[in-house]
Amino acid sequence: MQRDYVTRAIRLALEEDIGTGDVTSAVTVPAGARASGHFLAKSPGVVSGLDVAAATFREVDPRVAFIALVRDGDRVVPGDLIARVAGEARSLLAAERVALNFLQRLSGVATATARYAEAVTGTGARVIDTRKTTPGMRLMEKAAVRHGGGHNHRFGLSDGILIKDNHLAAIGGPDRVARAVAAARAGAPHTLRVEVEVTSLDELEQALAAGADVVLLDNMAVDQMAEAVRRTRGRAILEASGGITLETIRRIAETGVDLISVGALTHSAPSLDISLELTLETGDATGE
């Protein structure tokens, strides 16, 4: 479940970071001192992970106030305020780094996705993600992809059928695509579409003839993809995949493929630069 999943991820991250306690704050910041601050964008991008950041502070100290000033999916430019926090200074300092680590990474994914999604604007193609996600953060990264304007491929091995090169190798023979698709149609639950990876137009024909619902065109040249679209005539959904970059994605989209999957959305997106600036709230410590 989503809530449990996020909670567990946050606890792991806090455990790693806090260990047996924040020694520095314990010896330099008075117990009860209060502070407040804001998260500030330092690069342009798309925000994702506000809920995770908020939950990180709550996990450390339920009395911390976290007020989002933008929504997941919103664009920010340098200088924009993203959220405010207020509470006991020691709590803010203990949660700060982990909250930023989540927020920066997820906003990085959303920002990268937005660049790819913009590049295909006006074509019918959707930018989709892959399973090349950060271990332990898949659901959060999949949400970040949506915040960036992308769509999700399957979440894992149990909610989608995708027959890849390695499965085809396990079947073997010149008609392996046809036989694999047939096997999947016979054996799989009726709730799942059957997708198969092909590397040539011949294999595409096999896949279509065997009744594939979706065909992944693996590392095809652009004109080959265009031909694939023509031959398919709407009989299956087509997904372009393999080494797609911001430079190439527009031309691929214009071939008429339905989906373009980009591993780099999650495996190589740099973090978005966001900082947290705290101010001590003077006079409050005594009132505690």
User: Among all chains, which residue has been given the structure tokens 């990085």?
Assistant: 108
Contacts to a second copy from residues 224-283, by CB under 8 A: 237, 239, 258-259, 264, 267-268, 270-271, 277-280, 282
Of 51 and 223, nearer to a second copy (C-beta) is 51
Q: What is the 3-state secondary structure (H, E, C) of 157-172?
A: CCCCEEECHHHHHHHC
Task: For residue 75, list its beta bridge partners.
Answer: 46
Contacts to a second copy from residues 167-196, by CB under 8 A: 167, 169-172, 180, 183-184, 186-193, 195
Q: How far is the CB of 90 from a second copy (least distance, A)?
A: 9
Residue type (1 letter), 106: L
Of 81 and 223, nearer to a second copy (C-beta) is 81
Q: Which residues contact 77 (CB under 8 A, 6 or more apart)?
A: 41, 44
Task: For residue 93, list its beta bridge partners.
Answer: none
165 is catalytic: no
Q: How far is the CB of 78 from a second copy (least distance, A)?
A: 14
Q: What angle do CA 215, 128, 253 make, to 5 degrees?
A: 70
Of 223 and 282, nearer to a second copy (C-beta) is 282
197 is catalytic: yes
Distance between CA atoms of 123 and 79, rounded to whole angstroms?
Answer: 33
CA atoms within 13 A on the CB side of 59: 24
Main-chain phi, psi angles of 170, to 5 degrees: -75, -20
Distance between CA atoms of 21 and 279, rounded to whole angstroms?
Answer: 22
Rule CB under 8 A: is residue 105 a binding residue for a second copy? yes
Contacts to a second copy from residues 112-171, by CB under 8 A: 128, 131-139, 142, 151-164, 166-167, 169-171
42 is catalytic: no
Rule CB under 8 A: is residue 218 a binding residue for a second copy? no
Contact range with a second copy by CB under 8 A, out of 77-85, 100-108, 116-124, 218-226? 100-108
Determine the size of the site formed for a second copy (CB under 8 A): 104
Contacts to a second copy from residues 62-91, by CB under 8 A: 89
Of 80 and 239, nearer to a second copy (C-beta) is 239
Rule CB under 8 A: is residue 48 a binding residue for a second copy? no
Packing angle of the helix pair 138-147, 2-18 (nearest 10 deg):
110
